[in-house]
């Protein structure tokens, strides 16, 4: 499984993506090109192209997350599973039950056509 952290927060077993901490472009075409280049240089890319499963932690900005998912699907032919932070008594954690397989959601949504 290829795991990538696009959130900018340290998460055990999720390597930080190359663009974390950078200033994301504010215009749409530049943001799309930036995400494309990020995924073209992504560690684990060859495995993903061969159909490896994936789990990502998305960036907090909705426009960046949406663009990332569109580019991900375009390059790898499927959606990743995603994981998100849950606030607890001792700060945030990324538990196993705070995850969602977006490819399964897509397949289920197709039945509503």
pLDDT score for 113: 80
Q: Which domain holds residue 79?
A: 2-110
Contact 13, 4 (CB under 8 A): no
Tally of domains within the chain: 1
81-83 vs 54-57, strand pairing mode? parallel
Q: Spell out, as residue ranges, where the chain has pLDDT lower than 70.
A: 19-22
- Which of these, 80, 83, 113, lies nearest to 98 by C-alpha position? 83
Query: What is the pLDDT at residue 8?
Result: 80
pLDDT at position 20 is 61
């Amino acid at each position: 499984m290829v795991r990538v952290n696009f959130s900018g927060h340290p998460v055990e077993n999720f390597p930080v993506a190359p663009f974390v901490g950078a200033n994301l472009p504010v215009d749409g075409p530049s943001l799309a090109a930036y995400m494309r280049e990020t995924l073209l240089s992504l560690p684990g890319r060859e495995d993903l192209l061969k159909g490896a499963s994936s789990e990502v932690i998305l960036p907090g900005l909705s426009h960046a997350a949406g663009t990332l998912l569109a580019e991900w699907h375009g390059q790898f032919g499927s959606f990743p599973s995603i994981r998100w932070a849950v606030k607890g008594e001792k700060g945030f954690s990324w538990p196993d039950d705070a995850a969602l397989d977006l490819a399964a959601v897509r397949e289920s949504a197709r039945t509503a056509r």
